[in-house]
Chains A and B, each alone.
Chain A
Amino acid sequence: MNTIWILVKKDLLRDLKRPWGLLVLLCIPVITGWFMALAFGGGEGSESAVVIHVAVLDQDGNFIGGMMRSLGSQGDAQRNLQIHPVKTVEEGIRLLERRKASAFLVLPENLTNDLIVGVTASVQLYKNPAEAMLPKVVEQGTSLLAVGISEFMDLLGPQVKEVVDLLESGTAPSNWLLAMRFYQGLQKLDTVRDYVFPPLIRFETVAANEYIPSASRIASGTGGAS
């Protein structure tokens, strides 16, 4: 055993004298692992690192256009969505060509009015061909938004029309009128509450004696807590 230990010691001392080969070999798994982690998992704080840049040309200049333009500054969207307002189609396409935007959305003229009167309207979406995923995300998001706005206008079209008319008239509406419009809107929304917020799962905390009818009898019979 002593002989074996002497041989091992000799080899280990020789290794310690020239450790660089071993150290270089040790760097490789660290670097490989780091690259793999970056590739599969992104860097620290990667959840907020993905920002979708969308150029928007608002030719409507009305209620719906303003609502869509303001999406980028609301809720979670302000972390992951960056809206770039543009003034012409050429400007929007230039942003795509320079890869400054993943998609370019054109809201047509009279979009709000068309939706109010029930005329089919269409928005144009230019996708950046240099990107794979993000333009598809924008496309899906736009489709979802279009469905949402259509349903919203189906439900609250008259109220929106009155608000738009009030805004366009330039006169200050009375508080009573505003309150009435708001109340009417809420009443309409109340009719679709179950569809918009379906009660799929509901949690309730109940005492055992309320949940099991016999438990209360046991509790009262024995005099203990249930």
Chain B
Amino acid sequence: MNDIFTYMFPGLMMMWMIFIGQNLMADVYTESERKTLPRMLGTPVNLNQFLVSKIIRCVIVCLMAEGLLMLFTAVVFRVRWGNPFWLILVIVAANLSITGLLAVVYGLAKTKILADAITVVVGLLTAFLGGGMIPFDEMPFLMKAIGSWTFNRWSVQGLQAVMNARPLGEITIPVMKLLLFGFVTTGLGMYWMRRRFQAGRLS
């Protein structure tokens, strides 16, 4: 069972991180609804700082959640997660890409409810295509081809490379992809969210 668990769990973990991150990212709009955001903006805090703080918080909380999951699975299911340094590097990069994706969704969606719905669809779809629900190697060619371009797949590749103590090249390539994806999407997401807040579209 341990082998299957080791094979499937990283993908599942990444899928659920999207849903955990979703609650955290939605907090941007909850602050606005509860009128705490305008009060905060009345202080020396500006909108950029507020958004960056939310993104950092999302990365940190996901990191803590993943840490708890890894600890639990290592103790209970005897999953060997590999070198902690590389592991932290991979999951930080993965969390950045999750946060970036969520920032884009919450920045572009017209309402918070729509953003929540899109996140569920995106989360499930990327997890499915990225091998978080069914073994990636057993998927048809077309699905594999699409799945290879999902952040979920890169995260799983990175995590499994660390778990199997693969050469550094096999770890750094998915990490670079995740970081690039994460920085680009975070930048875009922040830009779109800022535009929304500045335009007063806060529903």
Contact = CB atoms under 8 A, between A and B. Distances in A.
Interface of A: 3-5, 7-8, 11-12, 15, 21-22, 25-26, 28-30, 32-34, 36-38, 40-44, 46
Nearest to B45: A3
B203 interface: no
4 closest A-B pairs by CB: A7-B53, A41-B4, A37-B5, A29-B16
B52 interface: yes
B65 interface: yes
A3 B49 contact: yes
B61 A7 contact: no
A28 B12 CA distance: 9
Interface residues of B, number: 33
Contact of B20 (A5, A7, A11, A22): A22
A40 B49 CA distance: 47
A42 B77 CA distance: 14
Interface of B: 1-5, 8-9, 12-13, 15-16, 19-20, 23, 27, 40, 44-45, 49-50, 52-54, 56-57, 60-61, 65, 68-69, 72-73, 77
Nearest to A42: B1
B45 A29 contact: no
25 contacts: A3-B45, A3-B49, A4-B49, A4-B52, A5-B53, A7-B50, A11-B53, A11-B54, A11-B57, A12-B57, A25-B65, A26-B20, A26-B68, A28-B16, A30-B72, A30-B73, A32-B12, A33-B5, A36-B12, A37-B2, A37-B5, A37-B8, A40-B4, A41-B1, A41-B4
A206 B3 CA distance: 38
Contacts of A5: 53
B67 to A, nearest CB: 10
Contacts of A38: 1
Contacts of B56: 4, 8
Interface SS of chain B: helix, strand, loop or mixed?
helix
A209 to B, nearest CB: 38
Contacts of A30: 69, 72-73
Interface SS of chain A: helix, strand, loop or mixed?
helix
Contacts of B2: 37
Given A8-B53, A11-B53, A44-B1, 19 more contacts: A4-B53, A4-B56, A7-B53, A8-B57, A12-B60, A22-B20, A25-B23, A26-B20, A26-B69, A29-B12, A30-B69, A30-B73, A33-B12, A34-B5, A36-B4, A36-B5, A37-B4, A40-B8, A46-B1
A4 B65 CA distance: 21
B163 to A, nearest CB: 14
A121 B18 CA distance: 65
A15 B21 CA distance: 13
A48 to B, nearest CB: 14
A109 to B, nearest CB: 47
Nearest to A38: B1
Contacts of B44: 3
Among A12, A34, A36, A43: residue with most chain B CB under 10 A: A36
B20 A25 contact: yes
B68 to A, nearest CB: 6
B28 to A, nearest CB: 11
